[in-house]
Amino acid sequence: MKIITVWQPYASLIAIGMKPFEFRGWAPPASIVGQRIGIHAAARKVRPEEIRTIIEQVRKRPWEVCLHVGVQVWLDEILRHPEILPLSAIVCTAELWTPEKGFDVSRRWGWRGDVGQVAPNYAWPMQNVRRLEAPIEAKGRQGFWDHEVAA
């Protein structure tokens, strides 16, 4: 299975269904669109100030993060207990659907800015997410990489 590494808390947000898109500056290879991929949580520890920034974005600028309603409670818990986030582990699988333009997705979350004001990026829809009962320890890599994961 193809795996992509994502920083925490975003990997876990995908795993619990709160983050329906992964944003990247590049489109995924066409050969894996429509396929199930693994989401790997990077080894990098989450920093409290990053969680506070995400909370602020959810409250005041939701189009910057495009997270589902209800994420605030989970983020507050992570702010109190960041050690519960798995690191260096595959946390879930998801179907990678056809990518969209990032600003189109942001508009659905309320953004009303000029397209020329933002860098072009891609929103990768993460659908039919399956959280793993136990994260699978693995060393991540940049881009897509292979690992045997039971889908």
Can you give the residue range of the structural domain that contains 129? 2-146
* Residue 75, domain member (yes or no): yes
What integer pLDDT is reported at residue 117 of this predicted model? Answer: 65
Give the domain CATH number at 61. Answer: 2.30.130.30
Q: What is the pLDDT of residues 4-39, one digit of tens each?
A: 999 999 999 999 999 999 999 999 999 999 999 999
* Residue 34, domain member (yes or no): yes
Instruction: Write a three-state SS string for the chain.
Output: CEEEEECCCHHHHHHCCCCCEEEECCCCCHHHCCCEEEEEECCCCCCHHHHHHHHHHHHHCHHHCCCCCCHHHHHHHHHHCHHHCCCCEEEEEEEECCCEEHHHHHHHCCCCCCHHHCCCCEEEEEEEEEEEEEEEECCCCCCEEECCCCC
* Residue 41, domain member (yes or no): yes
What integer pLDDT is reported at residue 20 of this predicted model? Answer: 97
Average pLDDT over residues 39-49: 96
* Residue 115, domain member (yes or no): yes
Q: What is the pLDDT of residues 86-142, one digit of tens each?
A: 999 999 999 999 999 998 999 999 988 877 666 679 999 999 999 999 999 999 999
What integer pLDDT is reported at residue 89 of this predicted model? Answer: 98
What integer pLDDT is reported at residue 150 of this predicted model? Answer: 63
Number of domains in the chain: 1
* Residue 151, domain member (yes or no): no
